[in-house]
Structure 1
Amino acid sequence: MNILITGAGRGLGMDLVAIALERGHSVIAGVRDLSRGQDALSGLSADYGDKLTVAALDVTDEAGIAALAASLKEEGRTLGSIVNNAAVLNASDTPLEELDIAEMQLALDINLYGPMRVVKHLLPLLTEPDASIINISSEAGSITNAYPGSYPYTISKTALNMFTQKLHVTLKERGVHVLSVHPGWMPTDMGGAKAPTSPRTSAEGIISLIEQRTAPEGHFMFVDYTGKDMEI
């Protein structure tokens, strides 16, 4: 299977690349800064050769995403899965009265519009059997369990869950498996040092969700990295 992963140069994204390669998949690792991404992934490139393609992919740059899709098409590349992992956590401790709406716009641009741009341009290449789209969401996007603060991140992830549900309804007749996945609280740049879940453990679960086409028991396509239903 060919798997495209955004935000692949660090944190969970890098572990997703590593696990996918270890399990025999080919990976297109999308990174915002190509030179930094190539350096970060150089060890995996040395180990896996042409099974790993590191590609410039800034989820806020629609023209760049379209160009990548055109290049992959010209090369005859197909996709079995798209993993929308790139995200930003910003203004998390800012009360609404002090929130700069530009921070909301930034979160929506990366966390919601980014996955929408990626799917818009790469969906035509998602033609392999048992194809899937995985949107890395968060328990923070649950309306049921809403908590104070962190307006940009939580609202953008709630909206991402809606995008997942729309894709599920739209693509189910094509057999494309679509999920929002809560990856757990991890000690990454975003999660902080006290987070208990290993990014590698989360990545192993997420790649298993792709391989096994795990489906939620309920109506909403929102699960954690083990496949357990999340409250929407």
Structure 2
Amino acid sequence: MNILITGANRGLGYEMVVEALERGHHVIAGARQASQKLAGLQEQYGEQLETVQLDVTDEAGIAALAATLKEQDRTLGAIINNAAILAARNTSIEELDMNDVLQSFDINLFGPMRVVKHFLPLLTEPGAAIMNISSEAGSITNAYPGDYPYGITKTALNMFTQQLLSAVKERGVQVVSVHPGWMKTDMGGEQAPTDPRQSSKGILDIIEGRIVPQGKFNFVDYTGKEMPI
């Protein structure tokens, strides 16, 4: 399977690259900037890994990359929309900078929409899947104060998942919003209880059909358990 992963140079994105490579998949690792970690994987896995410049806020760049792959008669089996930011953490509404909100929407919501817009025509492999990396912060049922930009954008991302699922279900494409857990990453911090590699394994299991998401809405955690909308 050919898997496109955004935000692949660190954190969960990097761990998903490693997990997918170890499982024998071909990975297109997209990131705004190159990293030594991805370069090390490139040396180890050779042509099984492609590292590409992919800024989810740059629609022209996304379109150009998709066009290049199309010209090469390339196909995709999965798209993992992982790139995201957590801005204005624990900021009250009175102190909130709306520029943080705008930037969060640009990356966390519009980014996945741009990626799907241009790469969906390439998603033709059997058992194709789109994984939108969401968060428990996007649950309306369990809404909490603070993290306004992040939580609201993840709620909107869940809606995008449902709309997209309705659009592609006749093609047999799986579309899922995944809460990866509170992880030990730059975003999650060292106090987080979950190893991002553990989360990566679950997400790849969902893509491969080893885990079948449960529930009315395709918003689940990395074990496939239903998350509250």
Range class of TM-score, shorter chain: over 0.9
**2:20 equivalent in structure 1:** 20
Paired amino acid for 2:6: T
**2:160 equivalent in structure 1:** 163
Structure 1 CA distance for aligned equivalents of residues 220 and 74 of structure 2: 29
Please give the root-mean-square deviation of Cα atoms over the aligned residues, in Å.
Answer: 0.9
Q: Establish whether residue 52 from structure 1 lines up as the match of residue 49 from structure 2.
A: yes
**1:6 equivalent in structure 2:** 6
Gaps of 5+ in 2: none
Report the Cα offset of residue 18 of structure 1: 0.4
Structure 1 CA distance for aligned equivalents of residues 41 and 100 of structure 2: 34
**1:174 equivalent in structure 2:** 171
* 1:213/1:116 CA distance change after superposition, 3 Å: farther
Structure 1 CA distance for aligned equivalents of residues 133 and 92 of structure 2: 25
Paired amino acid for 2:132: N
**3-state SS in 2 of match to 1:171:** helix
Percent identical pairs in the alignment equals 67
- Within 5 Å, which residues of 2 pair with 1:26-65? 26-33=26-33, 36-37=34-35, 39-65=36-62
Paired amino acid for 2:98: I
Report the Cα offset of residue 40 of structure 1: 2.2
Q: Establish whether residue 106 from structure 1 lines up as the match of residue 96 from structure 2.
A: no
TM-score by length of 2: 0.98
Q: Establish whether residue 204 from structure 1 lines up as the match of residue 211 from structure 2.
A: no
Report the Cα offset of residue 213 of structure 1: 6.4
- Within 5 Å, which residues of 2 pair with 1:49-88? 49-88=46-85
Q: Establish whether residue 188 from structure 1 lines up as the match of residue 181 from structure 2.
A: no
Paired amino acid for 2:29: A
The structure 1 segments of at least 4 consecutive aligned residues displaced by more than 6 Å after TM superposition are: none
Count the aligned residue pairs: 229
TM-score by length of 1: 0.97
Question: Are the equivalent residues in 2 in contact too, given 1:223–1:230 (CA < 8 A)?
Answer: yes
Question: Are the equivalent residues in 2 in contact too, given 1:137–1:157 (CA < 8 A)?
Answer: yes
Q: Establish whether residue 227 from structure 1 lines up as the match of residue 224 from structure 2.
A: yes
Question: Are the equivalent residues in 1 in contact too, given 2:4–2:79 (CA < 8 A)?
Answer: yes
Structure 2 CA distance for aligned equivalents of residues 217 and 207 of structure 1: 16
Paired amino acid for 1:222: F
